[in-house]
Amino acid sequence: DQQVKQNSPSLSVQEGRISILNCDYTNSMFDYFLWYKKYPAEGPTFLISISSIKDKNEDGRFTVFLNKSAKHLSLHIVPSQPGDSAVYFCAASGTGANSKLTFGKGITLSVRP
């Protein structure tokens, strides 16, 4: 029973173009969402987060959009760079029993030079 779903296992984009990574969740108790980035042989590193009281959060080239009614969030990377090639994990948390981070399976992003 996956509560955080990243249905596309991989994405390939051209350098300079926009990368859009999608994430869906099923648990309506989740109210805080995070994106992590992971390079091979390294641990995940925090990228950006969004609270459910917002629908958008921006940090440089990275923007996360949240659509609560659809239980959907997306990470936009503009412009994409070859160094962005990595696995991106979506994670979510809520209150009480849902307070611990629940991760999706990850999306492998490849940015072609």
Partner 1 sequence: NAGVTQTPKFRILKIGQSMTLQCTQDMNHNYMYWYRQDPGMGLKLIYYSVGAGITDKGEVPNGYNVSRSTTEDFPLRLELAAPSQTSVYFCASSYGIRGTEAFFGQGTRLTVV
How far apart are CB 40 and partner 1 at their closest, in Å? 10
For partner 1, the binding residues (CB under 8 A) are 4, 6, 9, 31-34, 36, 41-46, 49, 51, 89, 93-95, 99-101, 103-106
Nearer to partner 1, 15 or 101 (CB): 101
E strands within 15-77? 19-25, 30-38, 45-51, 56-59, 62-67, 72-77
CA nearest to 90, candidates 69, 113, 109, 111: 109
How far apart are CB 53 and partner 1 at their closest, in Å? 12
Nearer to partner 1, 11 or 101 (CB): 101
Pair 9, 107: CB distance under 8 Å: yes
How far apart are CB 16 and partner 1 at their closest, in Å? 29
> In angstroms, rounded to a whole number, what is the distance separating the alpha carbons of residues 30 and 38?
23
Nearer to partner 1, 42 or 60 (CB): 42
Residue type, 32: Y
